[in-house]
Amino acid sequence: MIPSDMDPEIVPLVDALNRLPGVCTVASCSGHMRRGPWITFQVENQSDLVPLAYCCGHWWSVGLEPASEDPPVFCLQGPYLCWIVTARLLIERIDEWLK
């Protein structure tokens, strides 16, 4: 279920991340034309990061949130410019990985 206050343009990417085994999204923001988008998430095992790292390409990055908890919280960050286009490519790579 999608929260009513979620930025609609980031929903497809959040859905794609949640389809990856072991990944559970926590929060997201589209950037509102002021910065690049981000999605925070947790994983069941660190090995669950491998598919996402493989799919990110050079436009998106994954990092550990500085004030992370247990389990740790990671952040997927996208580019400021053209992020919707690169998000579509990321979604396509995730879908291909899941085949």
Q: What is the DSSP string of 46-62?
A: GGGHHHHHHH-TTT-EE
Instruction: Say if CB 65 and CB 75 are below 8 A apart.
Output: yes
Main-chain dihedrals φ then ψ at residue 77, nearest 5 degrees: -120, 135
**pLDDT score at 82:** 85
| pLDDT tens per residue across span 3-14 | 778 888 999 999
- Stretch 56-83: mean pLDDT: 88
| pLDDT tens per residue across span 33-58 | 778 899 999 999 999 999 999 999 88
| pLDDT tens per residue across span 73-91 | 999 999 988 888 999 999 9
Task: Give me the domains of the chain, ranges plus CATH numbers.
Answer: 8-98 (3.30.1360)
**pLDDT score at 88:** 94
Would you say the C-alpha torsion 47, 82, 38, 19 has a positive or negative sign?
A: negative
Measured between its terminal Cα atoms, the distance across the chain in Å is 23
